[in-house]
Amino acid sequence: MDATLASPAADAGLRRFVHKVYAWMCAGLLVTGGVAAYMASDVQMIRNLMSIPFLFIGLVLAELGLVFYLSRGMENMEVGTARFAFLFYAALTGVTTSVIFLIYARGSIANAFFLTSAMFGALCLYGYTTDADLTAVGSLCFMALIGSILASVVNWWLHSPMLVWITTYCNIAIFCGLTAYDAQRIKAIYRAADDGTDLETKEAIMGALALYLDFINLFLNILRATSRNR
C-alpha cells in the first residue's frame, strides 16, 4: 500500500475527495432528472423537439462536443467554468434523454432507474474496495465500447433487431466494468490532485463526469433491455 495513503490524514483527505466526487455526480444526475421531468410534464414539448430532427441532432452533437471538451480541457478551465460546464452538460443531457418518456411507460423508467442505482452502487463499492487492479478491465471495456458504437452505426443501415439486443446487453456488461474501474480510479485521481486547491475540485468534477456517464449509459441500456416500447 502507498505510504502516503496509509496515514490517517491521507485517509481523511481521500474520503473528503471521494465525497466530493459523488456529490458532484449526484448533482449532475439531479439536474438531468429535473430537466427531463420538466420536459415530461408537457409531453408536447418533447414531441416538438422530435418534430425538428436537425434540432435534436444538433443538441446531441453539442452534447458530444461538450463532453469531449470537458474531458480534454477541464484542467485549463477556471474552477467556476468547470462547475458551470458540467452542470450545463447535465441539463443538456436531460433535454435529450427526455425522449424516453415518449418511448417507455413511466413505471418501466422508474424500475430501470432503481435497478441501475442498485447495480451502480454495488459496482462502485466493489471498485473502490477491491485490491485487484482493474486497469486491464477498463482498457478492455473501452475497446469493447468502441466496437459496440461501430456496430450501432452499421445497424443504422442494417436495421437488425438482433444486433440491437446484442449491443444492448454488451453495453450493460461494458458499463458495469467501466463503473468499477472508474470507482477505483478515484484513488489515482486523488493522488494526482493538489490537496485544497482548485485543481482538486476540477479533478473531482472529472471523476464525477466519468461516473455520471457510466450511470446514464447503464440506465439507458438497462431500460432498453427490461422494457417494451409503448
pTM of the entire predicted model: 0.92
Q: Say if CB 59 and CB 13 are below 8 A apart.
A: no
Residue 196, pLDDT > 60, answer no
DSSP 90-101: HHHHHHHHTTHH
Of the candidates 139, 209, 150, 151, the one whose C-alpha atom is nearest the C-alpha of residue 178 is 139
The stretch 81-85 carries a mean pLDDT of: 93
Average pLDDT over the chain reads 91
pLDDT for 195 equals 56
The stretch 117-123 carries a mean pLDDT of: 98
The stretch 120-146 carries a mean pLDDT of: 96
Nearby residues of 63 by Cβ (< 8 Å), 6 or more positions away: 89, 92, 93, 96
pLDDT by residue (tens digit) across 136-169? 999 999 999 999 999 999 998 988 999 999 999 9
Residue 194, pLDDT > 70, answer no
The grid coordinates listed for 52 are 425538428
pLDDT for 180 equals 98
Place of cell 422494457: 227
Which ranges of the chain does DSSP label H, i.e. alpha helix? Answer: 3-6, 8-40, 43-50, 53-73, 79-97, 100-103, 106-129, 135-158, 161-192, 198-226
Which amino acid, one-letter code, is at 63?
Answer: E
What's the pLDDT band for 193 if we cut at 50, 70, 90? low
pLDDT for 6 equals 52
Residue 1, pLDDT > 50, answer no
What's the pLDDT band for 38 if we cut at 50, 70, 90? very high
